[in-house]
Chain A
Amino acid sequence: MNEITLKMREIARDLLERGEVQRVLGWEKGTFPYQSTPFFAETPADADKLIWDEYCLNNLAVYLLDFRYGEEKVALFVKGCDSRGVVRLIQDKQFPRERVYLIGIPCPGLKDAAAAAKLPAGAEVPLADKCRTCTHKNPVLYDVLVGPEEPPAKIEGDLFAGVKELEAMEPEERFEFWQSQYERCIRCYACRNVCPACNCRECIFDQTAKEWLSKEVNGANNQFFGMIRAFHVAGRCIDCGECERVCPMDIPIMKLNRKVIKDINELFGDYEAGTDLEKLPPLGLYSADDPEEFM
């Protein structure tokens, strides 16, 4: 049992016993050793199921949306990426700060559960893709921190290397690349449902009677879905990589999101979404010096 797990349980039990919060969102051990899975502790006894290990991959911020219309106060364990998700929801006015109690966990980077599932027990498991490009190992927002802070994140190589490769392609080649990726899409909407930036009360892709997007699954419709989603989270994507992690068809969704992040950085100056409650997304505010080359 690691020290962080013990501390997590202690904090959760105390919060639930005192009635400070109605539930504590954390992780419990899943069916397999390489699975840690979202868990909602609702009684002090539940707290003993909470764990922290190298497979606590799920960004829990998205679950706040399940409680957005209530009155109850929720406690949430947050890694760096999860905390950026919470900032996203607070900035988007989807969840009030005073109804969430944040227990920060400095995160050294987690392991790739999908890779572990294929490896023999005991084999060295690689770092999860989404953790390779992590820029915030420590939570950016919390009420209490469990464990010592991690040293600042150092990304090996260029965060936008994948985007630059795509930018270097001829338009036809780039189109073919995305076409071949989105032909595989089965429109399960896992990418949307796991995303803290996808917090619309009703998604346009669920408004099938209005037919913004046909339910016909084909390359063109799927690309439309992928592109509209990328635009809808433009400037708000917190780069947590959850969409790409959960995609059952292995579509490199973060390449699309990073392209938008890179464009926004170039147009409006460097901006990291969800890292500062006071700093609004560039597309969510008006500034007199906004670029206007298109005018």
Chain B
Amino acid sequence: MQTFKKEAIEQVLASWAKDAAVYVPVSRAGVKEFGPWSPKVEPDFTGNTRLSPKGLMFPQTETMYSYTVTEGGMGVVLEEIDHKPARRVIVGIRPCDVRSVQVMDEVFLTKGYEDKLYKEKRDNTLLVALGCLSPLPACFCESMGLNPMAAPGADAVMYDLGDSYGIIVQGEAGEALVAALGELVKDGGQVPAGEPCTLKVDAEGLTAKLQKMFEHPLWNKVNRKCLACGTCTYLCPTCHCFDIQGKNKGDEGYKFRCWDSCMYPEYTLMAGGHQPRPSKKERLRQRFLHKLQYMPERYHAWGCVGCGRCLAYCPAQVDITRFMQDVKEVAIDG
């Protein structure tokens, strides 16, 4: 491990900012999210960001390409849009969110298809994580198999050592980041002991049980208080559903993709008017099963990283850990 004094953070970020855009947690009107760093920006490394960093790789709205119709409607000229960002370093990303980036990597980059828009951002992004000494009340990452003090998917991990930060590199890109700091860092320090999550839930065997519960009466209960808004899906660091729509004006237009939410009625509405998920019962079931059954089935990993955003900000306090507990407790046939 190497360390640098806390008051040197500005110099550290400035060193990285020489050849990359640096993103840090910043408060905007009281809402914390990742924003571009400049010497005028004060990073806020307390707690976690309300909006996850997923928007940096997968923006809420992104123009895909634009077009011009030619030859009286018989031809079209496509204009590709360069989405490739400059090299980026995300500093202060928490272990849960690092894990969520790995989950998104599975979705967008594996199983035979690489999503170009995601890949060109992801390939240019380095992650400098910050270990969690004191998880927040809604944090339950340990129950989802994470260690709040370790971020295996990051290029480097920082630790708060009181009056200094410790930094451990993980891989070549991380080594280059620390090498760029030159005299600012010195050897020493060790990983401090962090506090465990206070919110715990037993996730073992959950997927296998849920596989037999698609029609279970529990679903009639868990959805009751859900308001079917999209807060959970939009704050979730691993929710990745999107829609593709176009905007056309005269002979010109563009296609964009934007986040979509399985909680919205329009999400599954068929062109002919059929609605396969007619009520919030089916919609909430989809969301929970996607995290806890479908993702484990497809990628052998939880779709939930235990960041706690959904349960902290749900207008009706729908809590996925309570649901998991309920699943543990109900009886099923067979």
Residues of A within 8 A of B235 (CB): 248
Docked Cα-Cα span, A245 to B317, in Å, equals: 12
* Distance between B36 CB and nearest chain A CB, rounded to angstroms: 15
Residues of B within 8 A of A31 (CB): 199, 311, 317, 319, 321-322
A117 touches B229 (CB 8 A): no
Out of B29, B60, B266, B322, which one reaches A181, CB within 8 Å?
Answer: B29
| B256 on interface, CB distance cutoff 8 Å | yes
Docked Cα-Cα span, A218 to B62, in Å, equals: 10
B317 touches A37 (CB 8 A): yes
| B40 on interface, CB distance cutoff 8 Å | no
Docked Cα-Cα span, A206 to B266, in Å, equals: 6
Q: Is the interface of A mostly helix, strand, loop or mixed?
A: loop
B243 touches A40 (CB 8 A): no
Greatest chain B CB density within 10 A among A35, A194, A248, A249 is at A248
Out of B199, B228, B266, which one reaches A193, CB within 8 Å?
Answer: B228
Complex interface residues of chain A between 53 and 109 (CB less than 8 A to chain B) = 58, 62-63, 66
Out of A180, A190, A216, A250, which one reaches B227, CB within 8 Å?
Answer: A190
B312 touches A30 (CB 8 A): no
B234 touches A188 (CB 8 A): yes
| B118 on interface, CB distance cutoff 8 Å | no
* Distance between B124 CB and nearest chain A CB, rounded to angstroms: 23
| A283 on interface, CB distance cutoff 8 Å | no
**Residues of A within 8 Å of B, CB-based: how many?**
38
Out of B61, B229, B259, B312, which one reaches A194, CB within 8 Å?
Answer: B229
Using A216-B258, A248-B50 as known contacts, say yes or no to A193 and B315 having CB atoms under 8 A apart: yes
| A178 on interface, CB distance cutoff 8 Å | no
B31 touches A250 (CB 8 A): yes
Complex interface residues of chain A between 148 and 191 (CB less than 8 A to chain B) = 180-181, 184, 186-190
Docked Cα-Cα span, A32 to B243, in Å, equals: 35
| A52 on interface, CB distance cutoff 8 Å | no
Using A180-B29, A250-B29 as known contacts, say yes or no to A190 and B245 having CB atoms under 8 A apart: no
Using A38-B224, A206-B264 as known contacts, say yes or no to A184 and B137 having CB atoms under 8 A apart: no
Out of B243, B315, B321, which one reaches A246, CB within 8 Å?
Answer: B315
B-contact bits for A235-249, CB 8 A (1 contact / 0 none) = 000000010011011
A215 touches B315 (CB 8 A): no
* Distance between A160 CB and nearest chain B CB, rounded to angstroms: 22
| A227 on interface, CB distance cutoff 8 Å | no
Residue of A nearest to B309 (CB): A248
B28 touches A190 (CB 8 A): no
A-B contact pairs, 9 of them (CB 8 A): A32-B138, A40-B221, A58-B316, A117-B137, A186-B230, A186-B234, A193-B227, A215-B243, A216-B245
Interface residues, chain A, with chain B CB atoms under 8 Å away? 30-32, 35, 37-40, 58, 62-63, 66, 117, 180-181, 184, 186-190, 192-194, 206-208, 214-218, 242, 245-246, 248-250
13 extra interface residue pairs, beta carbon distance < 8 Å, beyond A30-B317, A180-B29:
A30-B319, A32-B137, A39-B225, A58-B316, A58-B317, A62-B227, A63-B224, A184-B28, A188-B230, A189-B229, A190-B229, A208-B245, A216-B256
